[in-house]
């Protein structure tokens, strides 16, 4: 009887909480390899962290939790050294032991946020210039432990490559999330500031663990109400909570706020009263939040108000806000995502509006540019603004949330896509002028630099909806810290921390992740096709779409399929958008026979019978790509199905079910697109492929009325 009870008590806690993914990559499960465990234990004896601030308290709590979890024995973190201490952390001036192991030069190199980890036999030392740096060092060390890496012989001197490492939430005040596929917003504005959801703390921890140091809380399609006193008090509550984690808050500024909440008659940036209004508003914000980061602004884009409403330029608008925040060291991130209908090619619009303004922005303004010229498509060439605005720091905007990447149901690891852009050479200052060097400021010598990811976080229990979408959040932080990290390295460490260190599991899942983006490109938009998603919500294929008011909202605008061929001619015989790139880049793309085929239809209208590198005609190649995409996702599904023995049934099953949807969707994409394009090519789908089992009409009649995030 007694024994039975005991068993129930032991089993119950394990059963009481099914694995739901809430713990992200911060799990600290007991290390299963005993050799590694005993080696680790020697390096973390009687751990001590010097200091007494809130950040130090956070470090101690995290370490206590981590060491106890990883070793399976309770740990208490000390505030002063004892004889047994083999783990010592703190800012370099807090103890002679710490200052003695670092050089002056190293301390200069790590700056305000970097860290140093050095180990000696039976000693681990983590230090930095600031407590935030120590915190980042501690998280790095825990990452090594969680991924079963050696923790002896370490000599790590690490500093972030980017200064601003930001999440951009497209969260509305009513808690809907624009392009959000993980439930509602985690910001419970109604209950703030009095009710502090535990998730805010876990959000801060997760971000701190990957080096993210800023968060824009609100949607770029902005609501001026966030700038009113009651809401600023809510923002303050979040800012106070995030501060000890090294995270600053930023807000989106609606350009017409002086009218909407200030009762002014204009928002003209040249108007004295308007300027004064913003100055006072900014002062009010900084009184509440002394380290407020600044504003992110979407202006004169997709119906948002902006300086052009008053015949002023983007620079006039940005500079007015920049002047208001400058006395408080705030910054303005002004978005370049614009495409009013003045150009014959949406591709060219941002460049046409912004390039002439180069050199006209105040020092504390960054222009935030999406990675590609159109809009977060599965594959885009880099935005020609990168490399073209040498006198303006350009901030990279990536989209973590998978608006055009299968949204909440498709498994896509985005790092290979991000790295493809970052590694591309702009040739703006000769060979080697990569997008990464433009963004990190090293090319044009900017100390103000940064990268933002449009958040994929919501109030779903596992934060991101798809269990693998967590990897994209994780990657943003890791790439901001060091964009030189490889996709494989980031995938590897995420898998080990999130799921398991088992070698077969890690290798299989890493392969899945590394193939996943190319797989999606193949079944959605191969060979440089773009923006052929369903109108509005963008889920599913609609290459035939041509009913929206603006031509450049319609898929047919982007693929231009006709009896001759398919693709958008952006060479001098077409819109000549190519001219916006440096001559070296132009040369890579302008020749239809030499253009990399991944980008072919971005730049050329290609005849159906054009001979591709494989020897196939364009039409056959298109079929080949679409069929390959479906085959690859089916293969991924099979590989995943063998992973059940390595992980918990909940997350295994969650992913397995979503892969089922993804396979169905991939077939839908393939069949719908090929049947539609076939009406132009008039060529058969090669005999070796299974024929689409439905008609084009069937696909054209599919209606998804209530896709999320729209
Ligand atoms: O990708 C498009 C989205 C819009 C978004 C816009 C933008 C926030 O479809 O929902 O609006 O880009 O980036 O401003």
Asked if 440 and 458 count as a contact pair (C-beta separation under 8 A), the reply is: no
User: Span 518-539, mean pLDDT?
Assistant: 97
pLDDT for residue 590 = 97
For the CA of 375, the closest atom of ligand 1 is 1
The rounded distance, in Å, linking the Cα atoms of 490 and 274 is 46
Which residue's alpha carbon is nearest to atom 3 within ligand 1?
Answer: 179
The rounded distance, in Å, linking the Cα atoms of 178 and 196 is 23
pLDDT in tens, 268-293: 999 999 999 999 999 999 999 999 99
Alpha helices by DSSP H, 95-224: 96-100, 104-110, 131-146, 198-209
The preferred substitution site among 223, 254, 370, 375 for testing ligand 1, maximizing ligand atoms within 8 Å of CB, is 375
pLDDT for residue 9 = 46
Q: Residue 437 pLDDT > 70, yes or no?
A: yes
The rounded distance, in Å, linking the Cα atoms of 316 and 258 is 16
pLDDT in tens, 613-637: 999 999 999 999 999 999 999 999 9
Q: Residue 7 pLDDT > 90, yes or no?
A: no
Q: Give the three-state DSSP class for 602.
A: helix
Which residue's alpha carbon is nearest to atom 13 within ligand 1?
Answer: 337
What pairing do the DSSP bridges indicate for beta strands 565-566 and 606-607? antiparallel
Q: SS3 helix, strand, coil % of the chain, rounded to 5?
A: 45, 10, 45
Pick the CATH number of 31-158 from 3.30.9.10, 3.30.379.10, 3.30.830.10, 3.90.1010.10: 3.30.379.10
Distance of CA 101 to CAs 75, 81, 120, 126, Å? 25, 16, 10, 10
CA 631 to chain centre: 28
pLDDT in tens, 213-266: 999 999 999 999 999 999 999 999 999 999 999 999 999 999 999 999 999 999
* Ligand 1 centre distance from Cα of residue 216 (Å): 15
* Ligand 1 centre distance from Cα of residue 267 (Å): 23
Question: What does residue 569 show for φ and ψ, rounded to 5 degrees?
Answer: -75, 105
> Model confidence at 14, in pLDDT bands (50, 70, 90)?
very low
Q: Residue 12 pLDDT > 70, yes or no?
A: no
Residue from 171, 353, 403, 425 carrying the catalytic annotation:
403
pLDDT for residue 660 = 98
The rounded distance, in Å, linking the Cα atoms of 422 and 437 is 8
User: Span 536-550, mean pLDDT?
Assistant: 95
Topology, domain 521-568+605-700: Alpha-d-glucuronidase, C-terminal Domain (3.90.1330)
User: Span 648-671, mean pLDDT?
Assistant: 98
The rounded distance, in Å, linking the Cα atoms of 402 and 414 is 9
Q: Residue 10 pLDDT > 60, yes or no?
A: no
Q: Enumerate the CATH 3.20.20.80 domain ranges in the chain, comma separated.
A: 164-485
For the CA of 302, the closest atom of ligand 1 is 14
Beta bridge partners of 331: 294
For the CA of 221, the closest atom of ligand 1 is 8
For the CA of 219, the closest atom of ligand 1 is 8
Name which residue leads in pLDDT, 344 or 614. Answer: 614
User: Span 330-344, mean pLDDT?
Assistant: 92
Alpha helices by DSSP H, 219-264: 229-242, 257-260
* Ligand 1 centre distance from Cα of residue 179 (Å): 8
Token pair 């002439």 is found at 356
Token pair 């921390």 is found at 497
User: Span 372-390, mean pLDDT?
Assistant: 98
The helix-helix angle for 618-641 and 503-524 (nearest 10°) equals 150
Which residue's alpha carbon is nearest to atom 12 within ligand 1?
Answer: 375
Task: Give the sheet arrangement for strand 123-128, strand by strand.
Answer: 48-49, 87-91, 123-128, 115-120, 155-158
* Ligand 1 centre distance from Cα of residue 75 (Å): 47
Ranges 441-445, 620-624, 703-707: which has the least confidence: 703-707
* Ligand 1 centre distance from Cα of residue 412 (Å): 20
**Looking at residue 93, what DSSP letter applies?**
G
pLDDT for residue 342 = 78
* Ligand 1 centre distance from Cα of residue 529 (Å): 19
Nearest alpha-carbon partner for 119 in 39, 45, 43, 50: 43
Q: Residue 596 pLDDT > 90, yes or no?
A: yes
Q: How many CA atoms lie within 13 A of 384 on its CB side?
A: 23
> Model confidence at 686, in pLDDT bands (50, 70, 90)?
very high
Sign of the CA dihedral with 334 first, then 340, 343, and 345 last: positive
Which residue's alpha carbon is nearest to atom 7 within ligand 1?
Answer: 337
Q: Residue 15 pLDDT > 70, yes or no?
A: no
Beta bridge partners of 119: 124
The preferred substitution site among 170, 218, 402, 550 for testing ligand 1, maximizing ligand atoms within 8 Å of CB, is 170
pLDDT for residue 13 = 45
User: Which residues in 510-524 are b (16+ Cβ under 10 Å) and which e?
Assistant: bebbbbbbbbbbbbb
* Burial status of residue 144 (CB atoms within 10 A of its CB: 0-12, 13-18, 19 or more): middle
* Ligand 1 centre distance from Cα of residue 396 (Å): 15
pLDDT in tens, 487-524: 999 999 999 999 999 999 999 999 999 999 999 999 99
Q: Enumerate the CATH 3.30.379.10 domain ranges in the chain, comma separated.
A: 31-158
The preferred substitution site among 168, 171, 178 for testing ligand 1, maximizing ligand atoms within 8 Å of CB, is 178
Which residue's alpha carbon is nearest to atom 2 within ligand 1?
Answer: 375
User: Span 643-663, mean pLDDT?
Assistant: 98
* Ligand 1 centre distance from Cα of residue 221 (Å): 8
Query: Is 302 annotated as catalytic?
Result: yes
Query: Is 403 annotated as catalytic?
Result: yes
Residue 504: both structure tokens together: 């077969």
* Ligand 1 centre distance from Cα of residue 219 (Å): 10
CA 147 to chain centre: 22
User: Span 383-402, mean pLDDT?
Assistant: 98
Residue 284: both structure tokens together: 């009010």
Nearest alpha-carbon partner for 330 in 397, 439, 239, 225: 239
User: Span 29-58, mean pLDDT?
Assistant: 97
For the CA of 179, the closest atom of ligand 1 is 10
Asked if 134 and 90 count as a contact pair (C-beta separation under 8 A), the reply is: yes
> Which residues line the pocket of ligand 1, CB cutoff 6 A?
170, 178-179, 220-221, 298, 302, 337, 375-376, 403
* Burial status of residue 266 (CB atoms within 10 A of its CB: 0-12, 13-18, 19 or more): middle
The answer regarding whether domain 164-485 maps to CATH 3.40.350.10 reads no
* Ligand 1 centre distance from Cα of residue 476 (Å): 19
pLDDT in tens, 146-179: 999 999 999 999 999 999 999 999 999 999 999 9
pLDDT for residue 16 = 55
Sign of the CA dihedral with 503 first, then 506, 509, and 511 last: negative
For the CA of 404, the closest atom of ligand 1 is 1
Q: Enumerate the CATH 3.90.1330.10 domain ranges in the chain, comma separated.
A: 521-568+605-700
What pairing do the DSSP bridges indicate for beta strands 123-128 and 87-91? parallel
Q: Residue 129 pLDDT > 60, yes or no?
A: yes
For the CA of 538, the closest atom of ligand 1 is 9
Query: Is 493 annotated as catalytic?
Result: no
The preferred substitution site among 171, 219, 220, 302 for testing ligand 1, maximizing ligand atoms within 8 Å of CB, is 302
The preferred substitution site among 169, 180, 337, 552 for testing ligand 1, maximizing ligand atoms within 8 Å of CB, is 337
If phi > 0 it is left, if psi is from -120 to 50 it is alpha, else beta; for residue 528 that is left
Nearest alpha-carbon partner for 405 in 468, 330, 350, 462: 468
For the CA of 376, the closest atom of ligand 1 is 1
Q: Give the three-state DSSP class for 293.
A: coil
pLDDT for residue 520 = 99
* Ligand 1 centre distance from Cα of residue 452 (Å): 14
For the CA of 220, the closest atom of ligand 1 is 8
The rounded distance, in Å, linking the Cα atoms of 653 and 595 is 42
Residue from 287, 302, 507, 562 carrying the catalytic annotation:
302
pLDDT for residue 341 = 77
Residue from 178, 375, 584, 650 carrying the catalytic annotation:
375
Asked if 548 and 541 count as a contact pair (C-beta separation under 8 A), the reply is: no
Element (H or E) spanning 214, and its range? Answer: strand 214-216
Q: Residue 3 pLDDT > 70, yes or no?
A: no
Nearest alpha-carbon partner for 413 in 503, 498, 526: 498
């Amino acid at each position: 009887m007694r024994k039975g009870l005991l068993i129930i008590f032991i089993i119950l806690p394990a059963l009481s909480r099914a694995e739901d993914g809430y713990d992200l990559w911060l799990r600290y499960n007991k290390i299963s390899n005993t050799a590694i465990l005993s080696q680790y234990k020697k390096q973390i004896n009687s751990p001590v962290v010097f200091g007494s601030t809130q950040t130090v308290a956070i470090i101690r709590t995290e370490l206590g939790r981590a060491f106890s979890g990883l070793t399976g024995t309770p740990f208490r973190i000390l505030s002063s050294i004892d004889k047994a201490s083999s783990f010592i952390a703190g800012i370099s001036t807090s103890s002679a032991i710490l200052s003695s192991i670092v050089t002056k030069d190293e301390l200069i190199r790590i700056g305000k946020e970097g860290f140093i980890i050095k180990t000696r036999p039976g000693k681990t030392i983590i230090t930095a210039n600031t407590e935030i740096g120590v915190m980042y060092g501690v998280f790095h060390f825990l990452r090594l432990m969680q991924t079963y890496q050696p923790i002896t012989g370490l000599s790590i001197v690490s500093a972030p490559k980017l200064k601003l490492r930001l999440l951009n939430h497209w969260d509305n005040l009513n808690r809907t999330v624009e392009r959000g596929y993980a439930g509602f917003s985690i910001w419970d504005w109604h209950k703030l500031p009095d009710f502090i959801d535990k998730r805010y703390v876990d959000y801060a921890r997760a971000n701190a663990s990957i080096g993210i140091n800023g968060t824009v809380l609100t949607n770029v399609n902005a609501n001026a109400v966030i700038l009113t006193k009651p809401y600023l008090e809510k923002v303050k509550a979040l800012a106070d909570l995030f501060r000890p984690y090294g995270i600053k808050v930023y807000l989106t500024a609606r350009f017409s706020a002086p009218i909407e909440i200030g009762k002014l008659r204009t928002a003209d940036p040249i108007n004295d009263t308007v300027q004064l209004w913003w100055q006072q508003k900014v002062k009010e914000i900084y009184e509440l939040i002394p380290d407020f980061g600044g504003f992110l602004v979407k202006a004169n884009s997709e119906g948002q108000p902006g300086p052009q409403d008053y015949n002023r330029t983007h620079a006039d608008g940005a500079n007015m806000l920049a002047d208001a925040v400058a006395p408080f060291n705030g910054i303005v991130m002004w978005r370049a995502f614009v495409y009013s209908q003045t150009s014959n090619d949406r591709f060219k619009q941002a460049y046409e509006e912004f390039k002439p303004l180069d050199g006209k922005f105040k020092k504390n303004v960054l222009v935030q540019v999406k990675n590609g010229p159109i809009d977060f498509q599965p594959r885009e060439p880099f935005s020609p603004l990168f490399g073209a605005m040498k006198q303006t720091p350009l901030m990279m905007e990536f989209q973590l949330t998978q608006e055009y990447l299968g949204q909440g149901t498709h498994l896509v690891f985005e790092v290979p896509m991000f790295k493809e852009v970052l590694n591309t050479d702009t040739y703006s200052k000769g060979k080697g002028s990569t997008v990464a060097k433009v963004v990190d400021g090293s090319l044009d010598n900017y100390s103000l630099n940064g990268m933002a990811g449009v958040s994929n976080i919501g109030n779903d229990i596992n934060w991101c909806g798809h269990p693998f979408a967590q990897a994209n959040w994780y990657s943003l932080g890791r790439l901001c810290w060091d964009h030189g990290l490889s996709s494989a390295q980031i995938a590897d460490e995420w898998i080990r921390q999130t799921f398991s260190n088992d070698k077969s599991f890690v290798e299989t899942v890493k392969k899945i992740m590394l193939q996943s983006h190319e797989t999606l490109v193949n079944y959605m938009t191969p060979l440089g096709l773009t923006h052929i998603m369903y109108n509005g919500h963008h889920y599913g294929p609609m290459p035939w779409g041509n009913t929206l008011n603006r031509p450049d909202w319609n898929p047919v605008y982007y693929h231009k399929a006709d009896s001759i061929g398919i693709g958008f001619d952006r060479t001098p015989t077409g819109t000549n958008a190519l001219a916006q790139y440096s001559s070296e880049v132009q040369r890579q793309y302008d020749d239809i026979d030499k253009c990399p085929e991944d980008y072919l239809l971005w730049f050329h209208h290609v005849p159906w019978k054009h001979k591709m590198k494989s020897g196939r005609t364009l039409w056959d190649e298109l079929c080949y790509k679409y069929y390959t995409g479906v085959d690859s996702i089916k293969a991924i599904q099979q590989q995943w199905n063998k992973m059940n023995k390595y992980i918990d049934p909940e997350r295994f099953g969650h992913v397995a079910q979503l892969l089922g949807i993804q396979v169905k969707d991939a077939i839908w994409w393939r069949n719908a697109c090929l049947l539609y394009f076939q009406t132009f090519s008039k060529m058969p789908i090669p005999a070796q492929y299974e024929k689409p089992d439905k008609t084009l009409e069937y696909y054209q009649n599919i209606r998804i009325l209530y896709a999320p995030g729209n």
